Amino acid sequence: MARAAKPAGLDRDLAALPPERRWREWMGRIEAVLFASASPVPREALARVVGADAPVELLVDDLAADLADRAFEVVRTPEGWFMRTRPAYAAAVREAADVSGQELDLKEFDAAVLAAIAYYQPITREGLREIFGKEIARDLIGRLHARDLIATGPRDPRRGAPYTFVTTAHFLTVFGMESLRDLPDREQLDDAGLGRAAASP
């Protein structure tokens, strides 16, 4: 019995295609990879599906522009790019889609503590107590650690110095930010009610 032929390798350069079709095919590949991936895709991985000299960032920018009127958007984080449903469609997704295990489901006070860590990092438990006027429960810190939203930060070298907390790269990914510079200013937080949430559990 004859053995099936091995599939040919991926033609990255697509030299036989006219430039415009080649560009659209590269964009389609990037879209497919981002759509299928459960985590952000780094530049190096995207470069493996397009030509050696293809400008990955420009391809992603064009894809993002193509999706401008769609329900999805491309988000860049320190770990790479990913696709997500636009926030405007969140209520519809929650109503009809199975998103179990995908939602953060943070309580209001937990979100306020996370915001304080993001803005004041590295911050100690005592620093958080000063902001909120009360002790921050260990299990709250544990929940944020378990979800990989915060990590242990730098510690003073003196003996007995307290631990500090910082946000993680996963925190940026979850909130669709490329860096901490993308955090909203504190006035925007107050307008959204997070500043007030910090005052009470």
* Own/partner pairs, 182-187, CB within 8 angstroms, 24+ separation: 183/118, 183/119, 186/119
Q: How far apart are CA 133 and CA 119, in angstroms?
A: 17
pLDDT of residue 92: 86
Rg (alpha carbons) of the chain, rounded to whole number: 22
pLDDT of residue 196: 45
Q: How far apart are CA 12 and CA 25, in angstroms?
A: 10
Q: Which CATH class is domain 19-96?
A: mainly alpha
Alpha carbon distances (Å) from 99 to 74, 81, 109: 19, 21, 23
pLDDT of residue 71: 92
Question: Which residues have a Cβ under 8 Å from the Cβ of 40 and sit 6 or more positions away?
Answer: 77, 79, 80, 81, 82, 173
Q: What are phi and psi of 86, to 5 degrees?
A: -65, 145
For residue 85, the number of C-alpha atoms closer than 13 Å in the C-beta half-sphere is 12
Q: 3-class SS at 41?
A: strand
Confidence at 179, pLDDT banded by 50, 70, 90: confident
Confidence at 101, pLDDT banded by 50, 70, 90: low
- Domain 108-197, what architecture? Orthogonal Bundle (1.10)
Question: Domain residue spans in the chain?
Answer: 19-96, 108-197
